[in-house]
């Protein structure tokens, strides 16, 4: 990431070099960082680049981090956080699990109800943020704590355990598991299909952000909500939609997790919301909104996955993992700050 | 959205072919017991610039907000092309062709010029879920509209934040012109700028005027107003000090009225008498007081 700060010429030079054009892209730092980390762990362990090794760190990167980093990055570009994104993943999976295994509801119907529930949660987050004008940090912190309580409380009440299981005994399970939870064997490595979903969602998210009106509104809402309102951007609707997209993705991820193994812990997700944000920030999203990239956020998640598994392959004590994440986060924030100054530099 | 009370009938011949684009007739606005504007009248014609001059607290902001649909007048009326109009919301004023460029310019610094240009009114192509922002068209229109205003952009992809104050102003003006403004209201476009940049913005005002737009130029600097203005409305504490055509007033008179008074002039003259050096100081003081308001 330090190479991103290397050379800068006179801004008045009309011809913009390829390096400089890449340099101002938000995902540039993350791509360089990912490359460095990849090469680094490659030199540390040959298993890291074996088929099984790659499958392993791609899996760690894709679910829940990679897929959730996509909407979390969009939300952050739109100027907001969702601290409840992690526990929402669990809420979605637990809801489906309880409805099917304990209440005997059809699995498809359960998925629909669970989706509606998640959209409602996203709407409440977005509505409260736009309505009260309070920081999304506080609103979603409340949602985070609340859902954490609901996840454990409701699960215990219904199942008398802190986990929902036996989803694999429900009719229709196998087909759904194939859709989201199967694996593809390439060269001895078992690649979960979630990786493909991750790539797909990253592509869609990036397309929406860069090529649609909604994407333009997202950048504008995060960049300057007042100015956006003055030119007719529906900033409140955009914000609420972004929160609902986050919750919808939590629905996908939560249900993928419970469909993959047939069970889900009620405490799942606590703490992951911060990793989603870390991935987005490493990927070049500004905490203050208005700038960032979905591809960058996915690369951020990739860095996370590679580091998490790479440490194990390198034979190090994995207790040190979070130190790496912390250092990378700080480096990323410093790089972002530089980019922002560069982008906002006035030529008065 | 509420209806605009415009008795608009484009087929009917205008009863008065020389009706001004916008006429403000005896407009009054009070907030509680505070009278912000009292009995203000002026006109704006297509292809002309009407300058509204006044110190801080003169009622300039209230005046803009009345014209741009944020407030409604308590008394008096607005006539567009000779027909009375009432704007309930800024959107209605915009639809009638009144575009206001506020001091914050309504641009997002981190976004590129072309994204800012079409923000809120993005052209799209494709249909259904594939409906998308037509970036090529947006870039091309941005480039040509800016060139039309005599602005050569280095790169439409560069963030607005990297532009100078004058260039940013030009983006906002070009945008308003492109989206069908007939009357452009500019809220102190030169106040935060250096001499050269202010000159650039004055050039854009002239460009917009020459394109046949009516322009209302709000400022507290008579030196900026006089060269481009065709009409001058002077406000002081919510009251009109006069509404002059250019032929009726000279720059020194305008400045004198603006400076609000004899006491300032007196001070300047006193300093001037004390010799050349402090005389220059006196003139400077007079200028500064006017500029700073």
Most A CBs within 10 A among B1, B92, B93, B108, hence the mutation to make, goes to B108
Residues B185 and B271 in one domain: no
Residues B74 and B157 in one domain: yes
Q: How many CB atoms lie within 10 A of CB A284?
A: 29
Asked if B155's CB is within 8 angstroms of A346's CB, the reply is: no
Residues B171 and B121 in one domain: yes
List residues of B whose CB lies inside 8 A of any A CB.
90-91, 102, 104-111, 115, 118-122, 124, 131-133, 135, 154-155, 159, 161-165, 167, 194, 197
Residues B164 and B279 in one domain: no
Q: How many domains are there within chain B? A: 2
pLDDT at residue A335, rounded to an integer:
77
**Complex ipTM more than 0.85, yes or no:** no
Lowest mean pLDDT among A336-340, B35-39, B162-166, B235-239: A336-340
Please check the confidence at residue B149 and state whether its pLDDT lies above 90.
Answer: no
CA distances from A116 to A72, A111, A119, A250 (A): 19, 9, 5, 12
Asked if B119's CB is within 8 angstroms of A231's CB, the reply is: yes
Residue B83 belongs to domain with CATH number: 3.40.50.300
| The two three-digit tokens of residue A198, written as one number | 């991750």
List residues of A whose CB lies inside 8 A of any B CB.
11-12, 14, 16, 207, 211-213, 215-217, 219-220, 223-224, 226-228, 230-233, 286, 290-291, 340, 343-348
For B63-76, what is the mean pLDDT? 88
Residues B276 and B223 in one domain: no
For B60-70, what is the mean pLDDT? 87
pLDDT at residue B128, rounded to an integer:
84
Asked if B115's CB is within 8 angstroms of A219's CB, the reply is: yes
Q: What is the pLDDT of residues A178-203, one digit of tens each?
A: 999 889 998 888 999 999 999 999 99
Residues B161 and B290 in one domain: no
Q: Is residue B1 part of a domain?
A: no
pLDDT at residue A19, rounded to an integer:
61
Q: Which residues of B touch A340 (CB under 8 A)?
A: 110
Which among A227, A345, A347 is the nearest to B108, CB-wise? A227
CATH number of A34-340: 3.40.190, 1.10.3470, 2.40.300, 2.40.50?
Answer: 1.10.3470
Q: Is residue B37 part of a domain?
A: yes
Q: Is residue B9 part of a domain?
A: no
Residues B28 and B82 in one domain: yes
Asked if A291's CB is within 8 angstroms of B110's CB, the reply is: yes
Residues B52 and B31 in one domain: yes
Please check the confidence at residue B273 and state whether its pLDDT lies above 50.
Answer: yes
Asked if B135's CB is within 8 angstroms of A14's CB, the reply is: no
Residues B245 and B266 in one domain: no
Q: Which residues of A touch B104 (CB under 8 A)?
A: 226-227, 230
Residues B164 and B270 in one domain: no
Q: What is the pLDDT of residues A12-67, one digit of tens each?
A: 444 555 666 666 678 888 888 899 899 999 999 889 999 999 999 999 999 999 99
Q: Which of A328, A276, A231 is nearest to A68 (CA)?
A: A276
Question: What is the domain extent for residue B236?
Answer: 22-249
pLDDT at residue A348, rounded to an integer:
34
Asked if A226's CB is within 8 angstroms of B111's CB, the reply is: no
Provide the pLDDT confidence category of residue B52 given band limits of 50, 70 and 90: very high
Choice between A329 and B272, residue whose per-residue pLDDT is larger: A329
Residues B91 and B163 in one domain: yes
Tens-binned pLDDT, residue by residue, of chain A (348 aa)? 333 333 334 444 445 556 666 666 788 888 888 998 999 999 998 899 999 999 999 999 999 999 999 999 999 999 999 999 999 999 999 999 999 999 999 999 999 999 999 999 999 999 999 999 999 999 999 999 999 999 999 999 999 999 999 888 888 889 999 999 889 998 888 999 999 999 999 999 999 999 999 999 999 999 999 888 878 889 999 999 999 999 999 999 999 999 998 999 999 999 999 999 999 999 989 888 999 999 999 999 999 999 999 998 988 888 888 888 888 888 888 877 776 676 555 433
Distance from CA of A104 to the nearest CA of B (A): 35
CB pairs under 8 A between A and B: 95
Residues B164 and B238 in one domain: yes
């Amino acid at each position: 990431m330090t190479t991103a700060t290397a050379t800068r010429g006179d801004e008045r030079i009309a011809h913009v070099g390829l390096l400089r054009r890449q340099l101002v892209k938000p995902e540039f730092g993350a791509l360089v960082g990912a490359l460095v980390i990849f090469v680094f762990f490659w030199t540390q362990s040959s298993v890291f680049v074996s088929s099984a090794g790659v499958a392993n760190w791609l899996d760690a990167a894709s679910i829940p981090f990679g897929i959730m980093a996509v909407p979390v990055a969009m939300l952050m570009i739109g100027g907001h956080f969702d601290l409840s994104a992690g526990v929402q993943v669990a809420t979605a999976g637990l809801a489906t699990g309880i409805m099917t295994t304990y209440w005997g509801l059809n699995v498809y119907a359960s998925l629909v109800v669970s989706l509606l529930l998640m959209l409602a949660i996203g709407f409440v987050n977005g509505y409260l943020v736009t309505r009260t004008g309070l920081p999304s940090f506080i609103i979603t912190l409340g949602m985070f704590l609340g859902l954490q309580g609901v996840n454990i409380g409701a699960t215990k009440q219904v199942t008398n355990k802190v986990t929902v299981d036996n989803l694999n005994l429900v009719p229709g399970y196998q087909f759904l598991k194939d859709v989201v939870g199967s694996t593809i064997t390439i060269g001895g490595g078992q690649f979960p299909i979630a990786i493909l979903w991750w790539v797909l969602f990253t592509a869609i998210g990036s397309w929406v952000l860069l090529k649609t009106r909604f994407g333009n509104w997202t950048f504008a809402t995060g960049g300057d909500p007042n100015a956006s309102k003055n030119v007719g951007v529906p900033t409140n609707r955009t914000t609420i939609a972004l929160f609902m997209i986050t919750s919808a993705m939590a629905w996908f991820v939560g249900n993928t997790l419970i469909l993959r193994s047939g069970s889900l812990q009620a405490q799942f997700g606590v703490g992951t919301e911060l990793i989603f944000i870390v991935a987005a920030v490493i990927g070049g999203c500004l905490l203050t909104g208005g700038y960032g990239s979905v591809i960058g956020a996915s690369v951020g998640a990739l860095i996370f996955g590679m580091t998490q598994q790479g440490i194990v392959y390198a034979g190090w004590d994995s207790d040190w993992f979070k130190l790496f994440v912390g250092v990378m986060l700080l480096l990323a924030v410093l790089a972002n700050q530089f980019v922002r100054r560069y982008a906002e530099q006035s030529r008065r | 959205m509420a209806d605009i009370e415009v008795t608009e009938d484009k087929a009917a011949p205008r009863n008065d072919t020389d009706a001004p684009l916008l006429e403000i007739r005896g407009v009054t606005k009070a907030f509680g017991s505070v009278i912000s504007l009292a009995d203000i009248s002026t006109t704006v014609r297509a292809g002309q610039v009407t300058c509204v001059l006044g110190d801080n607290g003169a009622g300039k902001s209230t005046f803009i907000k009345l014209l741009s649909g944020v407030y409604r007048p308590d008394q008096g009326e607005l006539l567009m092309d000779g027909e009375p109009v009432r704007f309930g919301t800024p959107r209605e004023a915009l639809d009638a062709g009144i575009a206001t460029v506020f001091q914050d310019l309504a641009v997002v610094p981190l976004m590129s010029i072309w994204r800012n240009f079409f923000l809120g009114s993005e052209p799209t192509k494709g249909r259904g879920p594939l409906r998308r922002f037509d970036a090529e068209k947006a870039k091309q229109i941005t480039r040509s509209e800016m060139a039309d205003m005599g602005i050569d952009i280095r790169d439409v992809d560069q963030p607005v934040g990297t532009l100078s104050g004058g260039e940013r102003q030009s983006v906002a003006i070009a945008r308003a012109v492109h989206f069908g403004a007939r009357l452009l209201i500019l809220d102190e476009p030169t106040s935060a700028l250096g001499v050269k940049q202010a000159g650039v913005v004055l050039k854009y005002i002239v460009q917009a005027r020459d394109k046949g737009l009516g322009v209302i130029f709000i400022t507290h600097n008579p030196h900026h107003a006089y060269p481009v203005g065709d009409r001058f409305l002077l406000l002081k504490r919510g009251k009109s000090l006069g509404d002059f055509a250019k032929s009726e007033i000279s720059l020194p008179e305008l400045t004198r009225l603006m400076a609000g008074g004899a006491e300032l002039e007196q001070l300047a003259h006193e300093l001037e008498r004390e010799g050349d050096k402090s005389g220059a100081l006196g003139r400077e003081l007079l200028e500064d007081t006017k500029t700073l308001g």
